[in-house]
Structure 1
């Protein structure tokens, strides 16, 4: 079994994420080769990411959700594990505390707007062009990108300690998805 490598990459050129905020103060993007055994569908990517997250990322998120309300920051109404079934993925709909902002065939952008910052998360199938006439020969990547727009000092102060955890959590979730999808197939 080959080692799973998560790459930090530039935001894909055709991502709609860059247009979903008036201004972007922070952006990152991570990708893995599309996991074997996972349907090549962006909703399957979202479901796989949230249902295969490592326990430590879930615990860290639950800790965050207990602390940040004291600073006037929104949290989900429920601490239960999110599933793709929580959304209908129509722009404007909500699931947990994520609102769906954009829906394309190979990309869904969710996030929220708050008085301290706005954030967006893009879940995307990034298909490389193939010289082959067969579409299935094209390389497909699972890409998760995040963009943040700060409104004030509280947004910047909040994101300062969140950023290093975020930069570890997203790759860990992608790696976990890839690992668990390999196990399911075997």
Structure 2
């Protein structure tokens, strides 16, 4: 598989066999993106999560900081900082916190995190999805909106979310490919 195919992020429906598909009583918004599993990356979901969160484009981090500043004014929970913590700093055991995300479930194939708030509940899933002869990395989001504040909050977040997740995946794959190239030269 050539590098351009490796970096092509495909939007798909949330796979019904994933934990995220059953993670909320109702899903008002959901999306999922997949890419072929990165070559030379251990097929360990935490390795993929680590890659995603340590290689985000700087504009994603900047948007996240601004989002947190704005929504905090409306009483919406935000992390204290966009932390320098990495997935190495977390246990990822169900019931624990990873940054401001609660870990709901962790299997060898999927990590389900998220949080519940008075305006909305959300879940993020990072998974390994094996389909015939191809293994994919899948990032999925599910949101349950509770009230007008949740609708007002998610209205401007939704288009940015749809840009940020694929951008984070592409950035992670580019960083991984660059590291692998430097190892082999």
TM over 0.5: yes
Q: Could you say which residue in structure 2 is the equivalent of 1:174? A: 169
- Extract unaligned runs of 5+ from structure 2: none
CA distance in 1, matches of 2:175, 2:128: 18
Q: Could you say which residue in structure 2 is the equivalent of 1:107? A: 110
Q: Could you say which residue in structure 1 is the equivalent of 2:180? A: 185
Look up the SS of the partner of 2:84 in the other structure: coil
CA distance in 1, matches of 2:23, 2:99: 20
- Extract unaligned runs of 5+ from structure 1: 130-137
Q: Could you say which residue in structure 1 is the equivalent of 2:95? A: 92
Look up the SS of the partner of 1:124 in the other structure: strand
Match of 2:148 among 124, 144, 153: 153
Q: Could you say which residue in structure 1 is the equivalent of 2:52? A: 49
What does 1:25-174 align with in structure 2 at a 5 Å threshold? Answer: 25-129=28-132, 138-174=133-169
| Runs of 4+ displaced beyond 2 Å | none
CA distance in 2, matches of 1:153, 1:85: 37
Count of aligned positions:
178
Deviation of 1:52 after TM superposition, in Å, equals 0.6
Match of 1:18 among 7, 16, 21: 21
User: TM (normalized to structure 2)?
Assistant: 0.92
